[in-house]
Amino acid sequence: MPATGGAMLSSIHDDVAVESLRKRLALDPHRVRRLRNRLCKLQGSDEEALSELPTAARKAFADEILLHELTLDQRFDSQVDGASKLLFRTSDDLLLESVILRVATGRTALCISSQIGCAANCDFCATGKMGIARSLSAPQILDQVVQANQMLKPEGRKVRNIVFMGMGEPFHNVAAVNETLSKLVSPLGFDQSPRRTLVSTVGLPAAMVEFARKFPGVNLALSLHSAIQSRREEIIPLAAKYDLTELRAALQQVAEISQQSIMIEYLMLRGVNDGPQDRAALAEYLRGLPVHINLIPYNRVEAAPHLEGTAKEEREAFGAALRAEGFTVTIRYSLGADVDAACGQLVRRENRRIAAAAAQ
Ligand code: SF4
């Protein structure tokens, strides 16, 4: 079982604290490295990880170092498509979500959160409607990966792709996200392939370029949702701060630095961004950029009853027209509709349930 609580404890992902304790306990550095490997790379249980230490040192180590920053509060397994929604609780009682996606190819992806709530306030998003509670620390982001992998081990699965598409705007939490990415892709950390790691943003131009410079191998996705400024601002209020011209210049720079294509996320909202004018603006905006357009079906959320998804046939026609113009387009199949897999929905529901129970 994950160790929890203990506000004074340090994280296993805190290199300085772990090294200082290692010295104090006169532990062989190889032992500590093997413990971390077990936990971060080999999906070992906590007991298996601690068993890498000499018996005499295990208790002292466990008394000062937290292997987990989060407690699994609830788990919801989809009955239709293999998605599992994980609801985690922080030590100060805030809820966050991660989603395991068991893709039809047999691969496994994990969608992780970088914040609790989000200040971007996107019109279609349950998390945005919560406002921002706070940013997560790097150990809290990393623990979502550790715990998902521990859960997947008995199934013979391992997280292959990691996407920062859960709660929060990653570039509103740059320091922790950078620390997380460094540890994820480091051979001494999680040894995760950068190519199988993706950070999704609503589009903060300077941060996108900075990210590409720091992690040129890690994929970037831009939630564009409209190439018409006024319409984009209706969907993503934060877009008012960063106009599309500035954003396009950043996309160009990111592509030059990373030398790989950028994922353009386009949520298809009926009557909002799915008309011929929207498609023409999108094609015009992206022409000449190395992009891969991902058209996303919209799952209705309680928080936005005024929005509806575009019908399947129209989504396909929109995609076909873009392909005819030479773009690479995929139409994402939406996993986990029956477990509220769109970000923030479950946390909102749980918070309401807890508030209602407390009020009784
Ligand atoms: S879609 Fe992403 S960026 Fe927009 S409010 Fe939701 S969590 Fe924040």
Give the total number of structural domains in the chain. Answer: 2
One domain for residues 327 and 253: yes
Asked, for residue 5, whether it belongs to a domain, the answer is no
Please tell me if the CB atom of residue 165 comes closer than 6 angstroms to any atom of ligand 1: no
pLDDT, position 80: 79
Is there a domain that residue 4 lies in? no
Instruction: Answer yes or no: is the C-beta of 169 below 6 A from any ligand 1 atom.
Output: yes
Q: Give the model's pLDDT for residue 336.
A: 56
Residue from 96, 111, 115, 125 whose mutation best tests the ligand 1 pocket (most atoms within 8 A of CB): 125
Residue 123 sits at φ, ψ, to 5 deg, of -65, -30
Which of 96, 75, 95 minimizes the C-alpha distance to 86?
75
Phi/psi for 164 (5° steps) reads -85, 80
Collect contacts of 28-32 with beta carbons under 8 A, ≥24 apart. 31/57
CA of 165 to the centre of ligand 1 (A): 8
Catalytically annotated residue among 69, 97, 169, 265: 97
CATH number for the domain spanning 122: value is 3.20.20.70
CB atoms within 10 A of CB 10: 17
Which residue segment(s) compose the domain that 166 sits in?
71-359
Active site residue 343: yes
Which pair of tokens denotes residue 105?
């190819």
In a domain, 30, yes or no: yes
Q: Is 18 in the pocket of ligand 1 (CB under 6 A)?
A: no
Q: Residues 310-350: pLDDT tens digits? A: 999 999 999 999 999 999 999 876 555 565 555 666 666 66
Q: Structure tokens of 37?
A: 């490997």
Strands 65-66 and 10-11 turn out to be parallel
Question: Quick one: tokens of 142?
Answer: 């990393």
Same domain, yes or no: 56 and 86: no
Based on the fold, state whether residues 47 and 170 are members of the same structural domain: no
Q: Which residues of the chain have pLDDT under 50?
A: 1-7
Distance of CA 49 to the CA centre of its chain: 26
Measured in angstroms, how far is the CA atom of residue 133 from the centroid of ligand 1?
A: 13
3 falls within a domain: no
Q: How many Å lie between the centroid of ligand 1 and the Cα of residue 113?
A: 10
How many other C-beta atoms can be found within 10 angstroms of the C-beta atom of residue 330? 12
Shared domain for 29 and 141, answered yes or no, is no
Ligand 1: does its nearest atom lie under 6 Å from the Cβ of 122?
A: yes
How much distance in Å is there from the Cα of 196 to the middle of ligand 1?
Answer: 21
80 and 164 share a domain? yes
Q: How much is the CA Rg of the chain, to the nearest whole Å?
A: 21
Q: Specify whether 59 is located in the same domain as 101.
A: no
Last residue of one domain, picked from the residues 23, 40, 66 = 66
Task: Indicate if 231 and 290 belong to the same structural domain.
Answer: yes
Residues 38 and 128 in one domain: no
pLDDT tens for 54-98 read: 999 999 999 999 999 999 999 999 887 788 999 999 999 999 999
Same domain, 115 and 252: yes
Residue 92 sits in the same domain as residue 231 = yes
In-domain check, residue 154 = yes
Is the CB of 148 within 6 Å of ligand 1? no
